[in-house]
Structure 1
């Protein structure tokens, strides 16, 4: 347990640092929104390209990892829609609950995998991102569509945004460079690697900036339903599938880590833009991120 806390503790401290910086007088203006854009569109994609371009992807059980992660997400999505009438939520609130249960904080996931298992963990995490990001985005767009919060323009814009998603494009580029045997030649290796190294610490600080501590006081059935599903039910489901399919220890730990992650901070922007309950989404992001600081080490300790 001490080694798990030792690996994840610094990550949580950076998130808490971001929470403090985001509420201080400096830096002000639109600094944080611009920084988040830089991380999302440049630094994090550079890290994914650097990881995938020269990693031994053949050492990752991609098919079984896909069955575990994507199977868990699909089962959860079907279950949520089946239970929707019993949740007693309006459609805007349900879209936020759906996002809160399925989306995951990529920065915490990749940083945690690297901290726990080094380069091997980072490679499996990059593969997990490549598998999960497209499916989660498609499922969430379909949910907004079924909820009736998207107009014709909203559907087209969402699909175009999915096609231009920098994380998906970075995973495709990194995998293409790897499979072609080109890798990252010459100075490009060091340049892209240096860019990627800045992604995780800055990304974790940006996660903290996005937190809304007052949301913890919100009494809302949807808030706690989505949090219970995200931090307890989905990890248990994924761990069961990983055990059933015999994933190796590193792949199992990374799959469990990604299943137990708090929801993504970007879900708030999507909720606001696509007609969801943005305030509920902000509360979900905050509560799950804070509670995950306790639940993540416990889940990983279970399989240690």
Structure 2
């Protein structure tokens, strides 16, 4: 019950974002611009501040990457198998693969901080830094395989996108500042800290604002299979590998939070851009976000029982 109460405000903010947008408060244009504010300013500020002042350890980063990459590729393998099993077209399979592999960073950061404070938020940021490039390149490569478009160069476009991605750039800047000992520069650090503090509540409202409950359409089979892959297979693999490697307790809990995340809202945009099934993707995002309200506390409770005894 303590876990549910601790993370309830995260999901209340998501619901509030949905209600505000559907009520026209303040306007649809506001929410579209707010997404850009989060993506180009608030999230990069948060990433820079946390990474530039973190106590970086090669062992820590290697551990986070090992567990998350193994779980991600296991989920992708599951998606490829069930995609073959249900015999759907390439557009549907790409949405299924995004559904099992992508993650909603916003929710991970908010839940980690709500449950375990600033140290967990710092670990969550480092985990995102490890995952973001690999997930994006893998997903785009899968689009090229399953839904090729004549003359298109999705992988090259993805590489260009990563080179100009504000989150990636903020991660690199944070690593450089950390390495050079510039992480706590007066004024700059304080200003970015204020912006970063605004990131979590605003981006949770944006997550809710982007949910689409009305007019959901899509094949129920891939929707259900994507939910199983993302909310059962992914966290189960994270749990198994973290136990096998003897991962430190707080790191293991943050990794498990990542494992139990719903797929990210950016998957819908990518489905539209690269020829996926966008309506199906919207349904997957919404269904998984709603199911994660129940699934995430269960996985976190299992993790606390195993990794945080007493």
Find the counterpart in structure 1 of residue 66 from structure 2: 67
Alpha-carbon offset, residue 6 of structure 1: 2.4
Map 1:150-189 onto structure 2 (within 5 A). Answer: 150-155=149-154, 156-189=156-189
Find the counterpart in structure 2 of residue 225 from structure 1: 225
Alpha-carbon distance between aligned partners in 2 of 1:62 and 1:151, rounded to the nearest angstrom: 39
Alpha-carbon distance between aligned partners in 1 of 2:104 and 2:25, rounded to the nearest angstrom: 25
Alpha-carbon distance between aligned partners in 2 of 1:6 and 1:27, rounded to the nearest angstrom: 29
8 Å CA contact 1:121, 1:251 repeated in 2: yes
Find the counterpart in structure 1 of residue 136 from structure 2: 137
TM-score by length of 2: 0.93
Alpha-carbon offset, residue 169 of structure 1: 1.4
CA 1:148–1:172 in 2, change beyond 3 Å: closer, same or farther?
Answer: same
Alpha-carbon offset, residue 85 of structure 1: 1.8
Alpha-carbon distance between aligned partners in 1 of 2:116 and 2:215, rounded to the nearest angstrom: 34
Alpha-carbon offset, residue 213 of structure 1: 1.3
Deviations 1:178-208 (A, max 9, x none): 1221113111111000011111100000000
Alpha-carbon distance between aligned partners in 2 of 1:15 and 1:85, rounded to the nearest angstrom: 34
Q: Relative to structure 2, which stretch is displaced further, 13-22 or 57-66?
A: 57-66
Deviations 1:93-121 (A, max 9, x none): 11011111111001100111111111110
Alpha-carbon offset, residue 87 of structure 1: 2.2
1:54 aligns with 2:36: no
8 Å CA contact 1:149, 1:276 repeated in 2: no
Find the counterpart in structure 2 of residue 24 from structure 1: 23
- Give the unaligned 5+ runs of structure 2: 305-310
Find the counterpart in structure 2 of residue 119 from structure 1: 118
8 Å CA contact 1:215, 1:286 repeated in 2: no
CA 1:116–1:151 in 2, change beyond 3 Å: closer, same or farther?
Answer: farther
Alpha-carbon offset, residue 128 of structure 1: 0.4
Alpha-carbon offset, residue 74 of structure 1: 1.7
- Give the unaligned 5+ runs of structure 1: none
Q: Relative to structure 2, which stretch is displaced further, 52-61 or 255-264?
A: 52-61
Find the counterpart in structure 2 of residue 265 from structure 1: 265
CA 1:190–1:60 in 2, change beyond 3 Å: closer, same or farther?
Answer: farther
Alpha-carbon distance between aligned partners in 1 of 2:19 and 2:176, rounded to the nearest angstrom: 40
Secondary structure of 2:15's counterpart equals helix
Find the counterpart in structure 1 of residue 307 from structure 2: none
Deviations 1:263-286 (A, max 9, x none): 101111110111000000000110
Secondary structure of 1:244's counterpart equals helix
Alpha-carbon distance between aligned partners in 1 of 2:301 and 2:233, rounded to the nearest angstrom: 17
Find the counterpart in structure 2 of residue 244 from structure 1: 244
Secondary structure of 2:22's counterpart equals coil
CA 1:51–1:88 in 2, change beyond 3 Å: closer, same or farther?
Answer: same
